């Protein structure tokens, strides 16, 4: 099973600032199999980025995913009020189980 570790667990920032979230995998993850999700309180997770760097439908350009192998990152260039949420990385790997990281909370 591929274990995903996210850091930091909490990021305290202000609107307009830049956020950088890290995701490290215990084994190599192919590019197509790494995604990021955003979750707001009381809501289901929603797709942000897939294939490491492709944004989902309607996702603004301030969200950027990068990385390869075992090290990945999600950058939010300028935080908007609606971006304060929890972010999860997730991998499909070559076989199940398909795992998620523990999440990074971005708060004010």
Binding site for another protein (CB under 8 A): 30-33, 35, 37, 44-47, 50-51, 54, 56, 88, 90, 92, 96-103
- Least distance in angstroms from the C-beta of 83 to another protein: 19
Structure tokens at 37: 């999700």
- Least distance in angstroms from the C-beta of 20 to another protein: 19
Q: Give CA 62 to chain center in angstroms.
A: 13
Structure tokens at 76: 């939010």
- Least distance in angstroms from the C-beta of 31 to another protein: 6
Q: What's the distance, Cα to Cα, between the start and end of the chain in Å?
A: 34
> Measured from the CB atom, is 84 or 88 closer to another protein?
88
- Least distance in angstroms from the C-beta of 33 to another protein: 5
* CA distance linking residue 34 with residue 108, whole number of Å: 27
58, 38 Cβ separation under 8 angstroms:
no
> Measured from the CB atom, is 31 or 75 closer to another protein?
31
Coil, helix or strand at residue 31: helix
Instruction: Please count the other Cβ atoms lying within 10 Å of the Cβ belonging to residue 84.
Output: 19
> Measured from the CB atom, is 19 or 65 closer to another protein?
65
> Measured from the CB atom, is 54 or 75 closer to another protein?
54
């Amino acid at each position: 099973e591929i274990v995903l570790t996210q850091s930091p667990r909490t990021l305290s920032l202000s609107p307009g600032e830049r956020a950088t979230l890290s995701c490290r995998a215990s084994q190599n993850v192919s590019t197509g199999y790494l995604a990021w999700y955003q979750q707001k309180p009381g809501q289901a997770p929603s797709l942000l980025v897939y294939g490491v760097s492709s944004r989902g439908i309607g996702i603004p350009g301030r969200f950027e995913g990068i990385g390869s192998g075992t090290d990945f990152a999600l950058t939010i260039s300028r935080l908007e009020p609606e971006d304060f949420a929890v972010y999860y990385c997730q991998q499909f790997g070559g076989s199940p189980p398909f795992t998620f990281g523990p999440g990074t909370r971005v708060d004010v």
